[in-house]
Amino acid sequence: MTWVSDDDFAAEIARLGVTASAKQMENWRLAGLAPQRRQIPDKYRGSRVLHASTEAIQYLAVERALQTTNRLDFAGFAAWAIGLDVDERYWRPHVDKGDRLITKAGNSLRRIMAYPRDGPTLGDRFVASRIVGGIIGKMRRRLEGDELANVVNIGVDIVTGDFEHFSHEPVSEAKFTSQSSAMKALGFLEGINDHVYGQSIGFQTTIEGSLSDLTAAIPHGNEDAISIGEILAARDDLRNGLKTAFCLYHGISWIYGPQAFGLRLGAYIAEHRMLDLIAVATIPFARLRRASNDLMASLEIAKMARDAERLWIMSNVIRDMRDSDENLREMFSPSRLKMTLTDTAEQNNLLKELAGYHAATPDVRPWAYWLRHAKRTMKPGLLVMSFGAPETLLLPDLLAGVNADPNLSSSAGTAST
């Protein structure tokens, strides 16, 4: 950890725009929402205070979190989800409870499945119950009854540790397979043909292996304890993976359509259920790291999230320029932009046209775009994803960050796990 002087700390607080009083920041620090300070004795002059280099940014995170939900426990967990160092009491109960829920569900389902029974499957009974709402409700609207029952049964196999692979034969009298119903439930099927420079996300080739790995990560009661280092890495991977889905989807959906690349559900979860998923899935994902050798490295996932955010911001910049200048509407039409994302020569032509177009350089402020997307309410997921965005970006930097990645298929598909 690096340390800064009182003057440097005050300058950073002013630069970040933290509006809390010194007394309020002191209360947050004493509540475990910021790192402790160091008191360094000075010979003949009393002592001086040193601040952790992250202290100012943590106050900004707490301030923004409290503007979303005015509770310290929420602010503490949100700050932890962002990747900041807070007292363990703000995050440990959430991730432990999430792990217990997953373990309890697995044990309960294993007991149920241990008794041979004729008649309807659990999936059939679930469909008959007409339970709706949230993410399950979104899946129900995509699927016919038999397809939803099949997906629920796949979920049961995953939680009980019995899933090995899809059945690629048509299910019963229906025309769908286990793989196609799972793809459709998760929203991947609609975007299966979307591509950038010939590369697709590749969910159809990675989903079976990902679910098989996930099955191996479900606890059975005899696993070694997960270390704090593994928990922190899993938290960061989940946050960055969801941020990638959100930014890619909202960056390209106005070009490719509302089902672009099958990322719509992932973008929804990132915006509306980010903290819930981090609470429930952090320890299981840490186990998944142990069980699978196919996951991307954490640094690669983090880079992918940064690149996706730049693409999303660039998309916003283009739309703003297009809306403010009639001459740019044809240049930046969805059909033209889609061509640039499928043909390198078209992209170079567009960049040349853009370079020759004399217009005021747009003021690129990422935080402003996050606020605009939030509209009236900064949802917890948006708060977590927006934090750490660069204060300003130059247009050339953005352009350099949105070139097609030749590894799109393998990287995005693996991170989707």
Domain end residue (candidates: 62, 86, 110): 86
Whether 217 is in a domain gets the answer no
In a domain, 179, yes or no: no
- Is residue 154 situated within a structural domain? no
Contact criterion met (CB below 8 Å) for 150 and 181: yes
- Report pLDDT for 413: 36
Best-predicted range by mean pLDDT (2-11, 106-115, 116-125, 127-136): 2-11
Residues 6 or more apart whose Cβ sits within 8 Å of residue 195? 342
Banded model confidence at residue 149, pLDDT cuts 50, 70, 90: confident
Q: What is the pLDDT of residues 43-66, one digit of tens each?
A: 666 778 899 998 999 999 999 999
Q: Is residue 177 part of a domain?
A: no
How far apart, in whole angstroms, are the C-alpha atoms of residue 285 and residue 404?
Answer: 29
Considering its fold, how many domains does the chain have in total? 2
What are the pLDDT digits (tens) for 300-312? 999 989 888 888 8
Q: What's the pTM value of the predicted model, to 2 decimals?
A: 0.78
- How confident is the model over 328-376, as pLDDT tens digits? 887 888 888 888 877 778 878 877 777 777 666 566 788 888 988 998 7
Write out the residue range of the structural domain in which residue 354 sits.
Answer: 224-417
| 243 belongs to a structural domain | yes
Residues 92 and 283 sit within 8 Å (Cβ to Cβ): no
pLDDT mean across residues, the chain: 78
Q: Exposed, middle or buried by CB within 10 Å (0-12, 13-18, 19+), for 114? A: exposed
pLDDT in tens, 192-233: 666 555 555 555 556 666 677 767 666 655 567 889 999 999
**pLDDT of residue 178 exceeding 80:** no
Q: Which of 60, 86, 112 is the endpoint of a domain?
A: 86
Q: Is residue 127 part of a domain?
A: no
On whether residue 287 sits in a domain, the answer given is yes
Across 4-13, 45-54, 147-156, which has the greatest mean pLDDT? 4-13
Domain boundary pick from 56, 86, 116: 86
Q: Quick check: 405 pLDDT over 70?
A: no
Distance CA 40, CA 47 (A): 5
Q: Tell me whether residue 244 is in a domain.
A: yes
Assess contact for 379 and 272: CB atoms under 8 A.
yes
